[in-house]
A and B are shown apart, each in its own frame.
Chain A
Amino acid sequence: MSLLTSAIGQGLLYGILGIGLFLSFRILRFPDMTIEGSFPLGAAVCVTAIVNGVPPIVATLLAFVAGGLAGLATGLLYTKGKIPVLLAGILVMTAIYSINLRVMGKSNVSLLNTKNLFTSEAFNNLPPYFNSVLIGIVVVIITFIILTYFLQTDLGQAFIATGDNEAMAKSLGIKTDRMKIIGLVVSNGFVGLSGGLLAQNNGYADVNMGLGVIVIGLAAVVIGEVVYGELTMSQRLIAVIFGSILYRIVILLVLQLGFNTNDLKLISAIILALALMLPALKEKLNLSQVLKRGVSTHETAQKPTNVTVK
């Protein structure tokens, strides 16, 4: 039972990461590698702040800010520096590795003997792991409300339009570069927040904890889509959270089957690959198509056809 509770708690906290990735990967359609840097950056900043006596709630917010700054760096490299977004993300992610070592002073900082969000007295009478579930639910609800509101504003709509059809957005006077930067900042902000929360939950921050988080985040997004199919924008945010929890439960089951934790990354990648291949497999097997736009690759370049020079 407590294993399941733990999986749900972790699923909720990683769900924030999934939501961040949803903004960049699904709405803007960016393969944003920055998150492998902004996630541990959020963790490093949060843990270092707590160890230095900053109140945990402030430290958690700092994790969001730090992640957002990483997104800003990628956004500027991409829009102003004209570096392809995949490469810009990899550059920032690589740079952050050194920054994390600077922030923490070493490769691993423990939160042992410090108070953090998850060790508050309020949780003392609860069964194990309920603290992560409760905090996870609260943060998910706040995130959901903020993003649902944002996506319904004129700015949010312009942001969605930028990812959907950039040529059209520009022709309506939307400053698409600004939208992309905002998207990357907010997206990586949530990823940093997720990193900060998970570091507190785990009790430490490690410089290598970003490795493979893009797979975890994508798994949340894709599994949510595979399970729920066609949804409205705000429902899709919820689907990501459920996808994240499901993914944790699958991992839990796999470990219960006796697989080694060392194989976890391999297993994660296989699960994600299967989820991503599902549409192709369904088509091959001629089954009715449950998943439509979500998982299929979209038409890529959407530019005026007859542009000759720039």
Chain B
Amino acid sequence: MKQPKNQPMLQLNDLTVTVNNGGRDINILNHINLTINQGDFITILGTNGAGKSTLFNVISGHLTPTSGQILLEGQDITKFSEEKRAKYISRVFQDPKLGTAPRMTVGENLLLAQKRGQHRGLGLRHLRQRKPKLMSELTLFDNGMSQRFDTATGELSGGQRQALSLIMAISSNPDLLMLDEHTAALDPKTSTQLMTFTNEIISERQLTCLMITHHLDDALRYGNRLLVLNAGEIANDYSTSEKADLTKDDMLKFFDSAIA
């Protein structure tokens, strides 16, 4: 982007999303103010209905905020469509089905991601010529996917699909990476592997990342900041040092009181 550099990566100013539920207006997001700096890796915790997914949907452009402003490196993107924001913001969903096109092959899916946010014209896609580059991305995380370059992604395991979704999300080094419980649908072993890989690649490439998780351990272990959402508001924003002092029990206590 052409904005001056030392702007925060993302700024949310007084962001509110209101829905009408049975004649009553409810703020799913209630006047959120948040500044995300370059290289921040923020984990997000919150009970169901706390507004985590709504927050992601608003940032990605899937949902239009009722009021408030979203700035990406100083540029107001509040009115940008989801497709337009995709150039800067990439996202991995919880459901493995959502991240890849099932009838297209691994290679074809990766190729689609290479052109994230770019013009797609009538030039040939050149899958064969681009295969070496695509393969080098696939082998970043070796879980047997590189042997399945020409397999339809619908035939991959959930873990492989999520890994592919993540590789696709980072392949063009997005300004902001959003992970929406991307390991939640996987078995414990696969989930741990993918989370370790996620952490490695984020620190290696110094990506700015928001990660929703339900794993208290993951939320505490990874990232340099921890946000706790409750009832559409940011209940806590822990810095690296504060986060280091937090224990799982602190978090559990918080959730107990939040539910009550």
- Taking Cβ atoms with an 8 Å cutoff, the residues of A that contact B are 149-150, 152-158, 160-161, 164-165, 167-176, 293, 299, 302, 304-310
**Chain B interface category by residue count:** 35 or more
Known: A152-B125, A155-B121, A175-B83. A307 touches B98 (CB 8 A): no
Q: Verify if B182 is at the interface (C-beta below 8 Å from A).
A: no
Q: Which of B120-143 contact A (CB under 8 A)?
A: 120-125
Q: Verify if B87 is at the interface (C-beta below 8 Å from A).
A: yes
Report the nearest B residue to A167, measured CB to CB: B98
In the bound complex, CA of A120 to CA of B161 (Å): 56
- In the complex the two chains form, is A307's CB within 8 Å of B63's CB? yes
Please indicate the chain A residues that have their CB under 8 angstroms from the CB of B97 in the complex. 165, 299, 302
In the bound complex, CA of A265 to CA of B91 (Å): 49
**A224: min CB distance to chain B, Å:** 17
Interface centre among A154, A156, A175, A299 (most CB of B within 10 A): A154
- In the complex the two chains form, is B122's CB within 8 Å of A155's CB? yes
Interface centre among B87, B113, B125 (most CB of A within 10 A): B125
User: Can you list 19 pairs linking A and B with CB atoms under 8 Å apart?
Assistant: A153-B120, A153-B121, A153-B122, A153-B125, A156-B125, A158-B112, A160-B104, A164-B101, A165-B100, A170-B86, A171-B82, A171-B91, A173-B84, A175-B83, A293-B103, A304-B62, A305-B93, A305-B95, A308-B19
In the bound complex, CA of A169 to CA of B98 (Å): 10
- In the complex the two chains form, is B62's CB within 8 Å of A307's CB? yes
- In the complex the two chains form, is A173's CB within 8 Å of B104's CB? no
Residue in B83, B102, B154 whose beta carbon sits within 8 Å of that of A174 in the complex: B83
Please indicate the chain A residues that have their CB under 8 angstroms from the CB of B8 in the complex. none
Please indicate the chain B residues that have their CB under 8 angstroms from the CB of A153 in the complex. 120-125
Residue in A154, A161, A168, A176 whose beta carbon sits within 8 Å of that of B98 in the complex: A168
**A95: min CB distance to chain B, Å:** 30
- In the complex the two chains form, is B99's CB within 8 Å of A309's CB? no
- In the complex the two chains form, is A173's CB within 8 Å of B108's CB? no
Q: Verify if B54 is at the interface (C-beta below 8 Å from A).
A: yes
Q: Verify if B57 is at the interface (C-beta below 8 Å from A).
A: yes
Known: A167-B93, A306-B53. A161 touches B19 (CB 8 A): no
